[in-house]
Amino acid sequence: MENDYRVGLGHDTHRLVPGTGFLLGGIAISHDRTLYGHSDADVLLHTVTDAVLGAAALGDIGDLFPDTDPVNRGRDSAQMLRTALEEVVRTGWTVVNLDCIVFAQRPKIGPYKDQIRRRIAELLEIAPDRVGIKAKTGEHVGPIGREEAVSCEAIVLLKREIMLAEHR
């Protein structure tokens, strides 16, 4: 089959505001700040959702869950990723692997990496060893380094599992 594989790239940034912690990759992170966003603001799951949708040429998270729609206020990002994955699978694709980078000055992500890897693997229905999680600080430079924001990047590889008539 032609085009048996597709690569998708995801990126997202959310501001940090005073609070008591935030979700990252579906895992609760204790911190003196929280991520600001229309949904639950899980910047990593938003990034992964965009990467998965992009690889299958299905748009982005804003297409499926616009922040102009009140129903998406506070929406669970894990549910958004599951819905995106359902669309990707429906069009004949499956996730091979995923690699992610979290950019945050604080808190340190290292202690949470294994939990995050396992949660994302669960959501994508793949083995945890197919999910890479790396963490980088901002070296006290820019919005990341000044602890004004957290950013993430992800790249995903999809494999065509079935060839649908409309995709030939």
List C-alpha distances in Å: 56 to 53, 63, 81, 82, 129: 5, 14, 14, 15, 22
Q: Cα separation of 77 and 114, whole Å?
A: 19
The residue type found at 36 is: Y
- Please list, residue by residue across 140-149, b when 16 or more beta carbons sit within 10 angstroms of its beta carbon and e when fewer do: eeebbeebeb
The pLDDT of 51-58, averaged and rounded, is: 98
Q: Cα separation of 43 and 120, whole Å?
A: 13
The pLDDT of 138-143, averaged and rounded, is: 96
Domains of the chain as residue ranges with CATH: 5-167 (3.30.1330.50)
Which residues make Cβ contacts (< 8 Å) with residue 34, sequence separation at least 6? 16, 17, 18, 19, 20, 21, 22, 41
Rg of the Cα atoms in the chain:
16
Q: What is the pLDDT of residues 68-110, one digit of tens each?
A: 888 878 889 999 999 999 999 999 999 999 999 999 999 999 9
Nearest to 91 by CA among 137, 160, 5: 160
List C-alpha distances in Å: 31 to 22, 51, 104, 143: 7, 27, 12, 17
Reported pTM: 0.93
Q: Cα separation of 136 and 144, whole Å?
A: 10
Task: Look at residue 165 and tell me whether its pLDDT is greater than 60.
Answer: no
As a whole number, the mean pLDDT across the chain is: 93
The pLDDT of 136-144, averaged and rounded, is: 97
What's the start-to-end Cα distance of the chain, in Å?
A: 9
